[in-house]
């Protein structure tokens, strides 16, 4: 089979999706389609010459604090921008394995934030719910994967930036042990604990990419070689937080976490509750202690030299955080270092005998408006379970675990340094929990788009009807499909089907939905609710209301007659 044809087809499809999605805030620099197609042809030539290319044709987006030769590196600031002479080590290793780079993605400026809104290039909206945040700082990378623009994307993670956006967009977030992937060619946030990460819809591919990038490069003095770890025992023990540490989760998230724990238990894993107070106290030191001075060391001089840019090219919240390290003394740094070491020792003692800690990845999923109203407070809630990992030299893996009220929910496994592969084994046990989705039109059994459900692993479960509070409209699309909307009055019951998909397939399926379709909670006539297809109200203006037919099949039958 000709590799170039396949890669070229993927490239063209990717650019078609990018154009149709109308998400310009995802990218800071997008290469031309012709340039990327030329790279695809080069990969084909290498494969034809017999070169082993484990990532042949894998499409990649790169967070714009990681160097890609031929594209500027901005770190989210046009004034900071520079032209790198060569690829970052991580990027070079992906290219060497056959990967094709599409472009550079948006981020919370200087990788400072977990919200995805702190960028002069625009706030990156969530892939599933555009009124909500994408999560940061690797915002554009996560959304590029979730919307199927690319197969994988590189991010960075200091406080959780490779995990929080994964959870909020229904992805895997692979955060390796600190130092496993060299940070050569990465604009530092906190140099000693920065990690290059991978976003993926498929865990196998995400782990493969991470492993290809591993290993010292002779340039990064903090790079390390992986230490072999044993696999999981027949009945491994996994820690979960005691109930008080799960307080304050978004509505429905505690129940979703409990279901993930139950799936793990059903897979033969022993669950043990652990008081993780020392780890959460350590997390507070990342921004609440002297360690923020490392951010000041990274880009503080640039911000101080350009005060006139604050509020324009320089995000005011980012500037405030970065320059906050100016007040930290060397004595305070050493005191906080000792405090961190003691908390880490106590945390490790409490986790002794377990192979990993399972937590929700984050605590809530705010709207863009909520973050704008309280940028620092809203952000601080995001990192409760992520902030301590790099400080204390843990590996982590964010895993999609379903959806709550039509919004992705994710969990996270965290374990000692070099347990990356073990965490992946655990991730596979919890990730593919089945999820139900209601379809009412072109995805019904026998309809032209039903194959997409089947390809995502879907199985027909039941024919159902919605509660009598919906209207159905015929949309002018190819192929024809309806749009379902909920109304306060004058609604009727609409026929549909419930299909069951694995969590990973659900994420892929939803990511591929074209506008104006979206996923939301739909109330059924038996009083239960299920994730289902809805249409954006603006798309229904001027369309035919076909609710009187009671469903899409009946409408099609009436047209045939």
* Eight-state DSSP code of residue 92: H
Collapsing DSSP to helix, strand or coil, 419 comes out as coil
Is 161 among the residues known to form the active site?
yes
Interacting residues of 516 by C-beta distance below 8 A, sequence separation 6+: 475, 483, 535, 536, 538, 539
What sign results for the dihedral spanned by CA atoms 217, 47, 504, 228? negative
Radius of gyration of the chain (CA): 24
10 catalytic, yes or no?
Answer: no
- CA 341, CA 524: separation in Å to the nearest integer? 53
Structural tokens at position 391:
């400080």
| Residue 489 to residue 314: CA distance in whole angstroms | 47
Among residues 77, 161, 396, 504, the one annotated as catalytic is 161
Q: What angle do CA 460, 558, 545 make, to 5 degrees?
A: 85
Return the number of other C-beta atoms located less than 10 Å from residue 158's C-beta.
Answer: 28
529 has catalytic annotation: no
From 90, 119, 134, 137, active-site residue: 137
- Please report where in the chains the tokens 């600190």 appear, as a residue: 178
Nearest to 472 by CA among 376, 371, 543: 543
Distance CA 216, CA 222 (A): 8
The pairing of strands 544-545 and 152-157 is unpaired
DSSP string of 447-497, one letter each residue: STTHHHHHHTT-EEEEEEEB-S-EEEEEE--SS-EEEEEE-SSS-B--EEE
Backbone angles phi, psi at 142, to 5 degrees: -65, -45
- Active-site residue list: 63, 137, 161
């Amino acid at each position: 089979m000709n590799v170039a044809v396949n890669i070229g087809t993927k490239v063209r499809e990717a650019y078609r999706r990018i154009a149709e999605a109308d998400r310009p805030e995802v990218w800071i620099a997008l290469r031309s389609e012709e340039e990327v197609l030329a790279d695809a042809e080069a990969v084909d030539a290498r494969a034809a010459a017999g070169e082993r290319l484990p990532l042949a044709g894998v499409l990649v987006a790169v967070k714009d604090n990681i160097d890609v030769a031929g594209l500027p590196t901005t770190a989210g600031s046009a004034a900071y921008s520079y032209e790198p002479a060569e690829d970052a080590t991580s990027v070079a290793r992906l290219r060497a394995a056959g990967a094709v780079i599409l472009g550079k993605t948006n981020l919370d400026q200087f990788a400072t934030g977990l919200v995805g809104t702190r960028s002069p290039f625009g706030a990156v909206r969530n892939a599933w719910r555009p009124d909500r945040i994408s999560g940061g700082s690797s915002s554009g990378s996560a959304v590029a994967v979730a919307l199927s623009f690319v197969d994988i994307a590189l991010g960075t993670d200091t406080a959780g930036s490779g995990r929080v956006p994964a959870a909020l967009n229904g992805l895997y977030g692979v955060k390796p042990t600190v130092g496993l992937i060299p940070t050569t060619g990465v604009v530092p946030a906190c140099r000693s604990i920065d990690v290059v990460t991978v976003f993926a819809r498929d865990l196998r591919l995400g782990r493969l990419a991470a492993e290809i990038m591993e290993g010292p490069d002779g340039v990064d003095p903090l790079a390390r070689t992986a230490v072999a770890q044993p696999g999981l025992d027949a009945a491994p023990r996994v820690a979960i937080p005691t109930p008080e540490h799960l307080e304050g989760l978004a509505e429905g998230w505690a129940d979703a976490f409990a279901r993930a724990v139950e799936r793990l238990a059903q897979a033969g894993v022993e669950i043990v509750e652990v008081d993780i107070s020392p780890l959460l106290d350590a997390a507070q030191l990342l921004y609440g202690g002297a360690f923020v001075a490392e951010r000041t060391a990274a880009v503080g001089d640039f911000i101080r030299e350009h005060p006139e840019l604050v509020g324009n090219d320089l995000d005011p919240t980012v500037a405030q955080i970065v320059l906050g390290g100016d007040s930290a003394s060397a004595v305070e740094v050493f005191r906080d270092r000792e405090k961190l070491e003691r908390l880490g020792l106590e945390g490790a003692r409490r986790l002794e005998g377990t192979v990993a800690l399972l937590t929700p990845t984050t605590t809530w999923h705010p709207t863009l408006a909520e973050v704008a109203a309280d940028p620092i407070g809203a952000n601080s809630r995001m990192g409760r379970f992520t902030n301590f990992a790099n400080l204390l030299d843990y590996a982590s893996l964010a895993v999609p675990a379903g959806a709550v009220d039509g919004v992705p929910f994710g969990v996270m496994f965290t374990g000692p340094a070099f347990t990356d592969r073990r965490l992946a084994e655990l991730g596979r046990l919890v990730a593919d929990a089945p999820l139900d989705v209601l379809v009412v039109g072109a995805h019904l059994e026998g309809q032209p788009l039903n194959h997409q459900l089947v390809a995502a692993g879907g199985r027909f479960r039941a024919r159902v009807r919605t509660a009598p509070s919906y209207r159905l409209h015929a949309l002018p699309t190819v192929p024809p499909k309806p749009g379902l909307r909920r109304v306060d009055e004058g609604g009727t019951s609409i026929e549909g089907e419930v299909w069951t998909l694995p969590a990973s397939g659900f994420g892929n399926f939803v990511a591929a939905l074209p506008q104006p379709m979206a996923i939301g909670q739909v109330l059924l006539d038996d009083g239960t609710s299920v994730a289902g297809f809805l249409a954006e109200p603006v798309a229904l203006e001027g369309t035919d209301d076909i609710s009187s037919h009671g469903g899409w099949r009946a409408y099609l039958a009436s047209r045939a007659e």
